[in-house]
Structure 1
Amino acid sequence: MKAVTIREFGDPRGLVVTDIPDPVPASAQVLITVEAVGVAGADVMIRSGALAAYGFREGHVLGGEVAGTVTEVGEDVDPAWIGQRVWAFTGTGGGYAEQATAPISEVLPVPAGLSVVDAVTLGSSGIVAHFGLAHAHFSAGESVLVRGAAGSIGIMAVQVASRRGAGAVAVTTSSPERGRRLRSLGATHVLDRSGTGGPADPSAYDVIIDVVAGDGMPAFFDRLNPNGRLVVVGAVGGQPPADFGARLMTAFQKSMSFATFSAATVPESARQAVRREQFTAATRGELVAVVHEVLPLPQAAAAHQKMDAGQVFGRIVLTP
């Protein structure tokens, strides 16, 4: 089958279309004919080489989130899955391909009324938004700032916070046009990338959901209210400075908190229950899947170039 593999780490041009053997489902797995695969920030970090310490090697197939049709099942999987249209989490890769395998515990039927493109736009980002806010102990009426709101996770965090009754939902973004689009999704205040807004915007927030991290992260501790919580759910801007905790200690009397969050720490059953609810909400128009562009699989390198350039609002989806 055709797949996009990493010939060399670094530049997106290191992604190449390759012929590799067809995958075979192991016990408790299904084989999916891929119809859509989401391009994620984690894919970009793996391709760049930033996660080399985790054991990724040349030849790796990117893509952890796919949707398509089940065509074969492994041992201990009900054959009734064959022919079903599903969303699936494949793990750390395997999705940029014509076929992919996934554990049956990470497979969910795509409801009627939801496209496979929308499914891979919502599937993982919605979970990070939901449980990231829970990790921050967010409650209705509190103010939320989403740092890096133009990506798929940030967009979902805006919608989920608004849907759950946030008193204010502020966003950092790079342009007035993006700000207008985020307002249409539930944002109430639009700030620049440094977190600076106008005189009518709040100066501090109860919860900050940070998709960016990087060198600029410590400055956002100054945007927290007393007892405020900053939770990093992504690191598209790289690692923060090693001494970032000093900023928290300087503001010791404000009792602020810092945490990281990975959806891998949430039990599969809980993730699937929330994902099912979000898929249903999307079919009712209560959540919006924001798709930047749909590209054919061989244009994966072009998709990554756009991600690197910060040109993407929402999610790019690849179709084999």
Structure 2
Amino acid sequence: MKAVAIRTYGGPEGLVLVDLPAPRPAGGEVLIAVEAVGVAGADALIRSGALAAYGFEEGFVPGSEVAGRVTAAGKGVDASWIGRRVWAFTGTGGGYVEQTCVPLEQVLPLPPKLSPVDSVTVGSSGAVAHFGLAHAHFAPGEAVLVRGAAGSIGVMAVQLAARKGASAVAVTTSSAERGERLRRLGATHVLDRAGDGGPDAPAGYDVILDMVAGDALPSFFDRLNPNGRMVAVGAVGGQPPADFGTTLMAQFQKSMSFATFSAATVSTADLQAVRRDQFTAAARGDLTVVVHDVLSLDQATLAHRKMDAGEVFGRIVLTP
């Protein structure tokens, strides 16, 4: 089968199309003929070599979520799964492929009106946005700032915060056009990347959900209200300065807090429950699915170039 692997760390040109043996499902697994692959910011970080210390070696196949049709079932799996349309979490990688084997507990059937492309746009990003807001102890009536809102997690976070009763949903983004698109998804205030946005913007925020991190992260502590919480759910802008905590400590009397969030700390059962609800909401049209582009598997390099250039609004999807 065809797959996309990381030949060399660095730029998108390090991704290559390769031939791999077709997989066979082990006990408790299903074999999925892949019809859609979600392209995530984490894939680009792995490809760049930024996460090499975590055991990602050259030759690694990226991709954490796929959708398609079950074509075979391993021992212990009910044969009724064969032929069903499903979404699946493939772990930290292995999704840029034509076929993949996935443990059944990581698989969800798709609602009839939800396409494979839409499911890999919502599946992981929606769950991260949901649990990221929960990790920040967000409550209705609070003001929320979504930093880096044009990505797939940000797009979902804006919608969820608005649906859950935020008093304001401010976003940072790179252009007025993107700002208008985010307003249509529920944003009430559009700020520039530095967090500035005119006299009507909230003076402070109870919750900041941050996808960016990077050098500018400490400056956003100044935008937290007393008892405000910032949660980093990504680091597409790189690591923050090593001494970023000193900025937080300098405002000790405001009782602010900073935390990170990874979906790896949430049980599979809880993640799947949220995904199931969000798939149903997306199929009904209650959640807007934002697909930037659909490219073929052999265009993975182009997909990563678009991500590196900051062109993507929502999610790019690959189709084998």
Name the TM tier (shorter chain). Answer: over 0.9
* Range that drifts further, 227-236 or 50-59: 50-59
- After superposition, give the CA deviation of every residue in 1:27-71 in whole Å (9 maximum; x if it has no partner): 221110000000000100000000000111121111110000011
2:317 is matched with 317
- SS of corresponding position for 1:129: helix
1:43 aligns with 2:43: yes
Which residue matches 2:164? 164
Instruction: Give CA deviations for 1:88-120 in whole Å, capped at 9, x if unaligned.
Output: 000011111100111111100010111100000
Give the Å deviation of 1:26.
Answer: 1.8
Give the count of matched residue pairs.
320
Partner of 1:298: 298
Structure 1 partner of 2:26: 26
Contact 1:214-1:239 at 8 Å conserved across structures: yes
Distance 1:62 1:287 in 2: 27
Separation in structure 1 between the aligned mates of residue 294 and residue 27 of structure 2, nearest angstrom: 33
Residue 65 of structure 2 corresponds to which residue in structure 1?
A: 65
Matched position secondary structure for 1:170: strand
Misfit runs of 4+, over 6 Å = none
* Corresponding residue number in structure 1 for 2:276: 276
> What letter matches 1:210 in structure 2?
D
Identical columns (%): 73
Q: Which runs of 5+ in 2 are unaligned?
A: none
Greater mean alpha carbon deviation, residues 140-149 or residues 57-66: 57-66
| Residues 103-118 of structure 1 mapped to structure 2, 5 A cutoff | 103-118=103-118
Cα deviation for residue 179 of structure 1 reads 0.0
Is 1:201 aligned to 2:201, yes or no?
A: yes
Distance 1:84 1:159 in 2: 29
How far apart in 2 are the matches of 1:121 and 1:231?
22
Per mean C-alpha deviation after superposition, the further-off stretch among 102-111 and 169-178 is: 102-111
**Letter in structure 1 aligned against 2:225:** N
Distance 1:109 1:194 in 2: 41
Q: Deviations over 1:162-214 (max 9, x none)?
A: 01011100000000000000000000000000001100111210000000011
Establish whether residue 241 from structure 1 lines up as the match of residue 251 from structure 2.
Answer: no
- Aligned ranges for residues 121-160 of structure 1 at < 5 Å? 121-160=121-160
CA shift for structure 1 position 72? 1.1
Q: Is the 8 A contact 1:133 1:209 kept in 2?
A: yes
Q: Distance in 2 between matches of 1:131 and 1:151?
A: 17
DSSP 3-state at the match of 2:271 = helix
Deviation at 1:152, TM superposition (A): 0.1
Aligned to 2:256: 256
Distance apart, 1:285 and its partner CA: 1.0
The alignment partner of 2:141 has SS state of: coil
- Output the CA distance in 1 between the equivalents of 2:92 and 2:57: 12
TM-score where L is the length of structure 2: 0.99
In structure 2, what residue type is equivalent to 1:159?
Q
Distance 2:245 2:28 in 1: 43
Distance in 2 of aligned mates of 1:128 and 1:103:
21
SS state at 1:243 partner: coil
**DSSP-derived class of the 2:230 partner:** strand
Q: TM-score, normalised by structure 1?
A: 0.99
State the superposition RMSD in angstroms: 0.6
Amino acid at match of 2:119: A
State the SS of the aligned residue for 2:25.
coil
1:277 and 1:194 mapped to 2: Cα distance?
Answer: 34
Deviations 1:117-166 (A, max 9, x none): 00000000000010000000000010000000000000000000001011
